[in-house]
A and B are shown apart, each in its own frame.
Chain A
Amino acid sequence: MNFNPTMNNLLVSASNLKKHFGDTRAVDDVSLQIKAGEIYGLVGADGAGKTTTMRLLVGALKADAGEAVICGYDINKQTEQARAQFGYLSQRFSLYEDLTVLENIRFFAEARGLKSNEWLPRSLEILEFVGLEKFKDRRTGQLSGGMKQKLGLASALVTKPRVLLLDEPTTGVDPVTRQDFWQLVIKLVSQSKKLTAKNAKSAKPALTEVEVEQQNLSERSALRGSKISEIEEGVAVLISTPYMDEASRCHRVGLMKSGKIIAEDTPSNLRARLNNRVLELRGSPLNVLRHVANKDQDVEDVQAFGDRLHIRVGERKADDVLSRLKSAIRSEGGRVDELRAVSPVLEDVFIALSESNHE
């Protein structure tokens, strides 16, 4: 493929990547491109190929076929230059529990070749960005889960990477922490184009964890925290997640299944594919409603959600189904409380696409 990464501002450009393990095609012809200032979400279940794709991109695994170019460097031919552009937070990142927060960052910084006059100001700045500056001397083993998460992110950021790869950073994590984490990532990307340098402040007297939590909570709504310097050229983020609802926070999403990206677009464009094709039905008894809905010729899928049903209908069939269902349910002795078209969610899209993929 011919492209000029700097011209298009593409920081990640992978084409036709393939990797198999035995008979399993873990990554099966994956191409993806990420621009500066973009958050790209790789969404799929365990075993879909998300982690393998990331490992191919960072050069931890060698692809059977295809190529990956990071900031203009081919990961296979110019591995060192390409790797120097990355910050990578793996699914099971490890921090040294016996080291302090600052010592952990120092370890990562020095492992990545940062000199002693570089790492300290940079580390302090990053710790302030993620809200951990008051804890720089605390032993890592004594941090809460959410704080460890932020320290992991800080470690991945210490080399000022142009490309940030985050492999399921929020799986199983408290929603409050998850929200904070996303705010940091979005802030990082949206600020990175036009940042002003700001010197790290010296640490204030240590606060207790509760005080900081409270402070974080009060700051969260406004997010008037510190900014991060010297990434003026823009950062690209690749983040993987099994959570469909989380994917809507990305600028673009690739839905992954069985090693393939089965669809790729902005979350709103993906949802638009099912516009006016998902109906919500409330009424009783639920089994009659479901039975009647399943019988309708234009109904493709019926899913119970607690006290209501979500019904996916064929293209341009919503009006027909709406009018037919009401009377059909009544004639079977059921009651309709509400029947209306609702906005589809990404999960609806994923399922509809997986089904058509089987055909």
Chain B
Amino acid sequence: MSDAVIQVKNLTRRFGEFVAVDHINFEVGAGEVVGYLGPNGSGKTTTIRMLLGLLEPSDGNATVLGFDAFKQSEQVRARAGYMSQKFAIYDDLTVLENLTFYGGVYGITDKTRIARTLELVGLRGHDSTLTRTLSAGWRQRLALGIALVHEPKLLFLDEPTSGVDPTARRAFWDLIYQLAENGVTILVTTHYMDEAEYCERVGIMRDGKLLAMDTPSNLKKNIIAGDVWEVYADPLEKGLEVLPDVDGVLSVSLAGDHLRTIVERGMKKDDLVKGLKGKNLNVRDVVVGEPTLEDVFISLAR
């Protein structure tokens, strides 16, 4: 990709013995919305801190917007926006005062630009609302506004939707897509498997390693070893015991009141049911299951 906005080569960060980020490689193109998925402690935030030049890589390098992320970090930070997990907003200031304050940090004093940012994140009319009184969803919009006030071409969002309800989460994603349509490149971290579905491409992190990066559909197609079926059978435990012995069954897990199984691709429902018959099992129903990014993650972790 010649127009890569982010280029990461063998990027590594150690803290003493601990390897927080372990030789990762990826590229992000202009206008892409890329997700960075992984549990707490998998190295997501450390990666972003290196991309912003806040941490020196122990090995490898990153080029962001054409600049070396660490050696030219000022140029990077002047052109990139960052919304951190625990964003700092002044509770005792109004929405407008917060935005004006952070604009000043970037040398933005133009009132029309600040008004434009308010408009963009849907906070117009809330200028003089005290930040303290905002709901979690609105605070999150303000934090996004602060990250956008200098009109960056690249936006880093570190777990921006942690703890907000699904309605606010969707509204937030609408904003993200709107930004992407206007040419802003977005790298967003999350530990919500289902949220990663929103992204055009998803990188999967575990223990500092980037295990895969692709579109959600390709990840499901290429990494999950087979098809997903939901098996409703009594007694459940008996099913858990006998299902793994059925020819073609690759893995089985409990899912509340039924069993979820991954079987060899193309295996017929009849064959699955036939395999279960004659094992003292009352099979009530077998239905097609949706593969998820969690299946992908678990397949990769094995």
Contacts and interface: CB of A to CB of B under 8 A. Distances in A.
Given A190-B236, A242-B163, A347 B255 contact: no
Nearest to B35: A306
B236 to A, nearest CB: 5
Nearest to B237: A190
B285 to A, nearest CB: 11
A243 B191 CA distance: 10
A190 B254 contact: yes
Interface string A109-143: 00000000000000000000000000000000000
Contacts of A242: 163
Interface stretch (A93-101, A150-158, A170-178): A170-178
B251 interface: yes
Nearest to B163: A46
B199 A306 contact: yes
Contact of B164 (A46, A245, A266): A46
B256 A306 contact: no
Contacts of A287: 181
Contact of A176 (B41, B252, B254, B298): B298
Contacts of B41: 145
A251 interface: yes
B198 interface: yes
A220 B261 CA distance: 12
B33 A245 contact: no
Interface stretch (B8-16, B68-76, B124-132, B166-174): B166-174
B294 A245 contact: yes
Interface in A319-359: 343, 345, 347, 350-351, 354-355
Interface in B38-93: 39-42
Nearest to A45: B165
Contacts of B257: 251, 266
B240 interface: yes
Contacts of B173: 303-304
Interface of A is mostly: mixed
B177 interface: yes
A222 B240 contact: yes
Given A175-B294, A243-B194, A251 B256 contact: yes
Interface in B261-302: 290, 292, 294, 297-298, 301-302
A66 interface: no
Contacts of B163: 45-47, 242
B29 interface: no
A351 B237 contact: no
A306 B33 contact: yes
A182 B254 contact: yes
Contacts of B215: 306-307
B167 A221 contact: no
Given A186-B254, A222-B241, A243-B194, A172 B40 contact: yes
A251 B173 CA distance: 30
A345 B289 CA distance: 12
B103 interface: no
Interface string A163-199: 0000000001111110100110011001100000000
B177 A304 contact: yes
Nearest to A350: B166
Contact of A174 (B165, B197, B206, B252): B206
A39 interface: yes
Of A182, A221, A351, the most chain B CB neighbours within 10 A belong to A221
Interface in A201-237: 217, 220-224
Of B33, B166, B236, the most chain A CB neighbours within 10 A belong to B166
B194 A347 contact: yes
B158 to A, nearest CB: 13
Given A191-B237, A245-B193, A354 B167 contact: yes
A248 B167 contact: no
A39 B256 contact: yes
A161 interface: no
5 contacts: A174-B206, A190-B237, A223-B252, A304-B173, A307-B217
Q: Please list the 6 inter-chain residue pairs (A to B) with the smallest Cβ-Cβ separation, ordered nearest first.
A: A46-B163, A45-B165, A172-B40, A174-B39, A186-B254, A249-B256
Interface of A: 39, 44-48, 145, 172-177, 179, 182-183, 186-187, 190-191, 217, 220-224, 242-245, 248-251, 257, 266-267, 286-287, 303-307, 343, 345, 347, 350-351, 354-355
Given A179-B253, A251-B256, 17 more contacts: A46-B136, A47-B163, A172-B39, A175-B298, A179-B294, A182-B254, A183-B253, A220-B251, A221-B250, A224-B241, A245-B292, A248-B256, A249-B255, A304-B174, A306-B33, A347-B166, A351-B166
Interface of B: 33, 39-42, 136, 162-168, 170, 173-174, 177, 181, 191-194, 197-201, 206, 215-217, 236-237, 240-241, 244, 250-257, 290, 292, 294, 297-298, 301-302
